[in-house]
């Protein structure tokens, strides 16, 4: 028997004046899943969450929860918990009372409140701060109390709007690990918005990439990295960003030649079958698919040698990001250790030809 998705978004659109914040968004979310909305600032992530929560009225489209059309329902009728990046804890209430507040509003019995607060505090490891006021909390403690306040209830699902954005790097990593664990342990449904692709890849069952108010791609996290649907998605997912350079294809259809920056790229027979039947393309190549050639290094099978000159250098402690110019096109890759190349230094690299991505130069769509 086919069951309805827990949440269904049908052709939701929303504009603010001349700005089209959302443009015909479709989305289905199954119970118990963790969906990440990924995109740059202004992509429409927060607007979509607010339309789901009932805090914004869409100009067109429908929101369905458990098969019920709820587009015109008030927020308190939808049974949703939302966690914003600003947290908004009650400053005059201690940790216990902040977590308990949704249950008190619902007039839950005292023993149920205590049981739920104690359970959530134990899961989040914050028992020791329940009697303290928010003004004494660290950033991570504030975030955990805000999560506890949401999780003390069991709504249909949780909307999390960049909840880790204000935390320092290591704390973000710790808390996203905790979030993933809690979501799986409790079987709750999370819809999590972030501009950080590493959070998306670490957390998501499914990633929805938003660009300019539209869904650019919807896919499992690893597929998003391995097979980006457009060059914009390709460059957004990864650090350093994927190299995208102009290229030309010549030769016979069964024996194509690939030219990048005037350099001919040797392709294996297997790679040749992936080359699109068009003259001009844009090639995507992740920095991890580029290897520095030094001294007498030979080019391994499945790799092609490309030569150029250094045009950028960024030391990053354990490794260095190097940019090279190849016939007017730039490629970026990383090498271990510290390098002291000067601009214009001749350099050769080997590129993994099986890792090439092909994009239409006009539309940016994957070929």
Residue-range domain boundaries for the chain? 7-236, 243-359
pLDDT of residue 85 exceeding 80, the answer is: no
pLDDT of residue 188 exceeding 70, the answer is yes
pLDDT (tens digit per residue) in 19-41: 999 999 999 999 999 999 999 99
DSSP notation for 224-279: HHHS-SBHHHHHHSSSSPPEEEEEEEEEETTEEEEEETTEEEP--HHHHTTS-S-S
162-169 average pLDDT score = 84
Residue 1 — pLDDT band, cuts 50, 70, 90? low
| Over residues 82-110, mean pLDDT | 90
Torsion sign, CA atoms 44, 55, 86, 8: negative
Res 217 pLDDT > 80: yes
Average pLDDT over residues 205-211: 97
107 pLDDT band, cuts 50/70/90, is very high
Mean pLDDT of the chain: 92
Average pLDDT over residues 315-324: 92
Q: What angle do CA 205, 207, 208 make, to 5 degrees?
A: 145
Sheet of 290-293: strand order equals 290-293, 346-352, 303-315, 319-326, 329-336
Stronger pLDDT, 169 or 159, i.e. the higher one: 159
51-65, 81-95, 116-130, 257-271: which is most confident: 51-65
More confident residue, 264 or 211: 211
Within a 10 A sphere around the Cβ of 30, how many other Cβ atoms? 14
The pLDDT value given to residue 200: 94
Mean of pLDDT values over 39-50: 96
Q: How confident is the model at residue 139 (pLDDT cuts 50, 70, 90)?
A: confident
Q: CA 81 to CA 100: how far, in whole Å?
A: 14
The phi and psi torsions of 200 (rounded to 5 degrees) equal -60, -50
Query: What is the pLDDT confidence band of residue 2, given thresholds at 50, 70 and 90?
Result: low
CA distance to 20, 57, 59, 61, per residue, from 17 (Å): 8, 14, 12, 18
* Domain spanning 7-236, CATH architecture: 3-Layer(aba) Sandwich (3.40)
Per-residue model confidence (pLDDT) at position 175:
85
Q: What percent of the chain has pLDDT over 90?
A: 73
Q: Which fold has domain 243-359?
A: OB fold (Dihydrolipoamide Acetyltransferase, E2P) (2.40.50)
What is the predicted pLDDT for the residue at 75? 94
DSSP 93: S
Report pTM. 0.90
Rounded to an integer, the average pLDDT of 60-86 is 92
């Amino acid at each position: 028997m086919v069951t309805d998705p827990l949440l269904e978004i049908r052709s939701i659109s929303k504009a603010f004046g001349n700005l089209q914040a959302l443009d015909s968004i479709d989305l289905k979310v199954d119970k118990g899943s963790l969906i990440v909305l990924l995109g740059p600032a202004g992509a429409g992530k927060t607007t979509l969450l607010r339309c789901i929560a009932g805090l914004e009225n869409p100009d067109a489209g429908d929101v369905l929860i458990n098969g019920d059309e709820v587009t015109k329902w008030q927020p308190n009728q939808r049974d949703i918990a939302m966690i914003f990046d600003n947290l908004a804890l009650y400053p005059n209430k201690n940790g216990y009372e902040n977590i308990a507040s949704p249950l008190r509003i619902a007039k839950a019995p005292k023993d149920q409140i205590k049981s739920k607060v104690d359970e959530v505090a134990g899961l989040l490891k914050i028992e020791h701060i329940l009697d303290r006021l928010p003004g004494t909390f660290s950033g991570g403690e504030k975030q955990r109390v805000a999560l506890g306040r949401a999780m003390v209830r069991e709504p249909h699902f949780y909307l999390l709007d960049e909840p880790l954005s204000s935390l320092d790097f290591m704390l973000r990593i710790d808390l996203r690990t905790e979030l993933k664990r809690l979501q799986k342990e409790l079987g709750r449904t999370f819809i999590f918005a972030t501009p950080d692709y590493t959070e998306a890849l670490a957390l998501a069952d499914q990633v929805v990439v938003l660009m300019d108010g539209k869904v650019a791609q919807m896919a499992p996290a690893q597929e998003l990295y391995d097979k980006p649907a457009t060059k914009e998605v390709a460059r957004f997912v990864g650090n350093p960003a994927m190299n995208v350079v102009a290229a030309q294809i010549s030769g016979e259809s069964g024996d194509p030649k690939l030219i990048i920056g005037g350099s001919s790229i040797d392709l294996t027979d297997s790679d040749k079958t992936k080359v699109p039947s068009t003259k001009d393309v844009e090639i995507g190549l992740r920095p991890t698919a580029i290897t520095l050639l030094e001294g007498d290094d030979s080019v391994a099978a499945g790799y092609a040698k490309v030569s150029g000159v250094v045009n950028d250098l960024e030391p990053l402690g354990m490794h260095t990001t190097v940019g090279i110019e190849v016939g007017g096109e730039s490629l970026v890759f990383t090498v271990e250790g510290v390098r002291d190349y000067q601009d214009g230094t001749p350099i050769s690299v080997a590129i993994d030809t099986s890792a090439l991505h092909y994009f239409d130069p006009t539309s940016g769509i994957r070929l």
